[in-house]
């Protein structure tokens, strides 16, 4: 029943959702439920580790500032890295994605303090539950101050779907990140959500990340042109 309620709310528009016992969604739910203890224990034991991948320009121009996207990966008891994307989906499903966000911010700030990173912009992803949690701004300010992080070197990524779902709260949250802390902002996965593209101008962001599926066939599909 809980999963049917979750799916109906996520779909919106007065939808009634019926889930049978053999529905694939229910199997996905139980698969995610099995991952829940791994996530909670992984946070406690710091089994989740941060990786970074470069954000490279598609042109040959040399950028004055290096850009990196911070990624979260799980290290199992054998020391192997598991990049299973279901970890984050499970965290969102069972309402612990905020704890994951806190963990990522703390680990990033600790690394930043140890390495004294300069001339680099680091992008971190933020979940919908964190956007709805106003004390996060104060917590973030304390972490930055304690670790010596320059807020201007941090870019928070929020997906278009999350921003559209919590429109007013997202705008308020993003404004606080920029005006109070001085962070940069990115709107991620443009083209996946159902929001009106005209609304994008209302988000005060520094970067727009267009999903590949939105432009993949733009040179070949007349409808996209």
pLDDT tens for 186-196 read 988 776 655 55
Look at residue 64 and give its three-state secondary structure.
coil
**Quick one: pLDDT band at residue 165, thresholds 50, 70, 90?**
confident
Domain boundaries 47-215, corresponding CATH code: 3.20.20.450
Q: Rounded to an integer, what is the distance from CA 129 to the centroid of its chain?
A: 11
- Please list the residues that pair with 156 across neighbouring strands: 124, 185
CA angle 204, 159, 8 (to 5 degrees): 125
Give the integer Cα–Cα distance in Å for 190 and 131: 18
**pLDDT band of 92, cuts 50, 70, 90:** confident
pLDDT at 149: 93
Taking only the tens place, the pLDDT of each residue in 37-75 is 999 999 999 999 999 999 887 776 666 778 999 999 999
What is the model's pLDDT at position 47?
Answer: 93
pLDDT the model gives residue 221: 66
What pLDDT shows up at residue 108? 95
Contacts 24+ apart (CB under 8 A), 76-85: 76/47, 81/49, 81/51, 84/35
At residue 51, φ and ψ (nearest 5 deg) are -120, 165
Token pair of 220 as six digits: 């070949």
- Give the residue extent of every domain in the chain: 47-215
| CA torsion through residues 184, 190, 193, 196, sign | positive
Q: Which residues pair with 157 in a beta bridge?
A: 125, 186
pLDDT at res. 166? 75
Model confidence band, residue 12 (pLDDT cutoffs 50, 70, 90): low
Please compute the mean of the pLDDT values over residues 147-167 and round it to a whole number: 86
Residues 6+ apart with CB under 8 A from 76: 47, 82
Q: Give the tens place of pLDDT for each residue, 115-124.
A: 877 889 999 9
- Give yes or no for residue 140 having a pLDDT over 80: yes
CB-CB contact of 7 with 19 (8 Å):
yes
Q: What is the reported pLDDT for 86?
A: 82
Q: Are the C-beta atoms of 17 and 4 separated by less than 8 Å?
A: yes
User: What pLDDT was estimated at residue 199?
Assistant: 66
User: In sequence order, which ranges of 45-134 are alpha helices (DSSP H)?
Assistant: 86-93, 97-115, 128-131
Asked if the model's pLDDT at residue 19 lies above 70, the reply is no
Average pLDDT value over all residues in the chain: 81
Highest mean pLDDT among 20-29, 49-58, 142-151: 142-151
């Amino acid at each position: 029943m809980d999963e049917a309620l979750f799916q109906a709310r996520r779909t919106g528009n007065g939808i009634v959702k019926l889930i049978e016992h053999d529905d694939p969604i229910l199997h996905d739910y139980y698969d995610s439920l099995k991952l829940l203890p791994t996530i909670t224990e992984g946070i406690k034991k710091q089994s989740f580790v941060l990786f970074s991948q470069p954000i490279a320009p598609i042109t040959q121009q040399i950028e004055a500032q290096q850009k990196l996207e911070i990624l979260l990966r799980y290290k199992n008891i054998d020391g192997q890295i598991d990049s299973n994307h279901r970890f984050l989906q499970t965290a969102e499903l069972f309402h612990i994605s905020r704890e994951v966000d806190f963990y990522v911010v703390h680990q990033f700030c600790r690394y930043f303090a140890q390495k004294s990173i300069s001339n680099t912009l680091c992008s971190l992803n933020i979940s919908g539950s964190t956007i709805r949690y106003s004390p996060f701004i104060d917590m973030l300010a304390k972490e930055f101050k304690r670790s010596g992080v320059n807020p201007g070197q941090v870019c928070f990524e929020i997906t278009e779907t999350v921003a559209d779902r919590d429109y007013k709260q997202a705008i308020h949250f993003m404004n606080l990140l920029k005006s109070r802390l001085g962070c940069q902002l990115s709107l991620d996965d443009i083209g996946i959500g159902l929001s009106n593209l005209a609304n994008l101008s209302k988000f005060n962001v520094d970067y727009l990340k267009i999903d590949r599926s939105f432009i993949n066939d733009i040179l070949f599909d007349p409808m996209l042109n």
